[in-house]
Amino acid sequence: MFIIREANKSDISQLRQLFECSDSDHRSHVSRTVVVSDEQLENNGFSNDNTNKWQFRTLVAQLNDNNSDYYRQHSLIGYVIYSNGYSMSRGKSILIEDLYVLDEYTNKLDTGASDGGGVGQAFLSAVAKHAVTSGITCMELSCFGWDDHLISLFKSLGIIDETIEMSYHRFGITGEPMKQLANSVIDNNGDNEKFKSTFTVQNATVEDRYAIRDLFKKFAEFNNRDPETVVSVEQIDRDGFGERQVFWTVILRHNTSRQIVGFALYYPTFTSFNGRGVCMEYLYVCPEFRGSGAGRALMASVVNESANNGQCNYFRWGCFMRFTDTVAFYKRIGAIDWTETKNVHNFVIYDNDLIQLSQL
């Protein structure tokens, strides 16, 4: 009844219609409007420009029932948008930013396999297949806490609700507060000069890969994880500085010792309703240098680079609520807990569960 295929440029106008439908479905719960132009879609989703780090992939579900009236005007009934994320223990991951199936097809096709399997499940399985064949072991998704249908689909497929299971919240910042953060590199005495004479915040270069690995280990320890499980220097070299770069790193250098004493790791994301965004996966400042504006400066640098140079519309990250000091820091710099305010949940599927999903 339907096929899943890679989207191409000629799908853009139908995709836009689907974005509008997705938007109106959500409107009773969250206020949002599609801000993405056809040009942005084309440039980020369907061009071969390898210098554009916001590239994403889209799969569409297309009816192959030629007799349907609907087919002639709207043969696309859903889409999934995804790109790469990064984990310091697993390397590349897949990040699903958007998953949508038209309401009339959701209820008919997502609920069981009697009519050949649901569209939502088929999308998730197709993306999982892409992950598994690329050697990726982790797929991340998000969904609103009120979306019972999607949540029960996720559950049935072994996808874990990290927000419920581990109290992992999604934080973010947009609009004017994001611009303010981008321009705020001052320590907590308001002394910009003092901060600048002590630290330099800069984009990492490949020479920093050993120091980055050491900081990954420190972050792992902070997070009660085995520091020896972090990715190798070779992986950092390839994924952080290679031709197919997946993550970007901003470092904090101590001017006197020249040591790297903090970092922020981030990667680009793209959603149908917000366009370009940035996800910060890790932020870390060595304990002895905390409290002098370094954490804020690292985040400011990520957002400055992305918001001003990359024309990003949002900046987001996640945090376990048990890190109460970190949550207080995020709130202090103007971030919003999107789990609290918008009911955003974070989902994840790993290893064998991902393989099983890819085989459905």
Binding site for ligand COA (CB under 6 A): 188, 222, 283-285, 290-296, 319, 323, 325-326, 328-329, 332-333
What minimum distance in Å lies between the beta carbon of 328 and ligand COA?
3
What minimum distance in Å lies between the beta carbon of 219 and ligand COA?
7
At 51, phi and psi to the nearest 5? Answer: -85, -10
Q: Which residue's beta carbon is nearest to the bound ligand COA?
A: 295
| Three state DSSP letters for 155-171 | HHCCCEEHHHHHCEEEE
Cα 53 from Cα 37, distance rounded (Å): 18
DSSP 304: I
Q: Specify the residue, 15 or 250, whose C-beta has the smaller distance to ligand COA.
A: 250
What minimum distance in Å lies between the beta carbon of 180 and ligand COA?
12
What minimum distance in Å lies between the beta carbon of 191 and ligand COA?
10
CB atoms within 10 A of CB 170: 23
Task: Say what angle helices 119-133 and 148-156 make with each other, to 10 degrees.
Answer: 50
What minimum distance in Å lies between the beta carbon of 341 and ligand COA?
18
Q: Specify the residue, 283 or 349, whose C-beta has the smaller distance to ligand COA.
A: 283
Q: Which residues contact 257 (CB under 8 A, 6 or more apart)?
A: none
Cα 57 from Cα 47, distance rounded (Å): 11
Q: Specify the residue, 16 or 290, whose C-beta has the smaller distance to ligand COA.
A: 290
Q: Specify the residue, 88 or 131, whose C-beta has the smaller distance to ligand COA.
A: 88
Q: Specify the residue, 91 or 293, whose C-beta has the smaller distance to ligand COA.
A: 293
Cα 76 from Cα 96, distance rounded (Å): 19
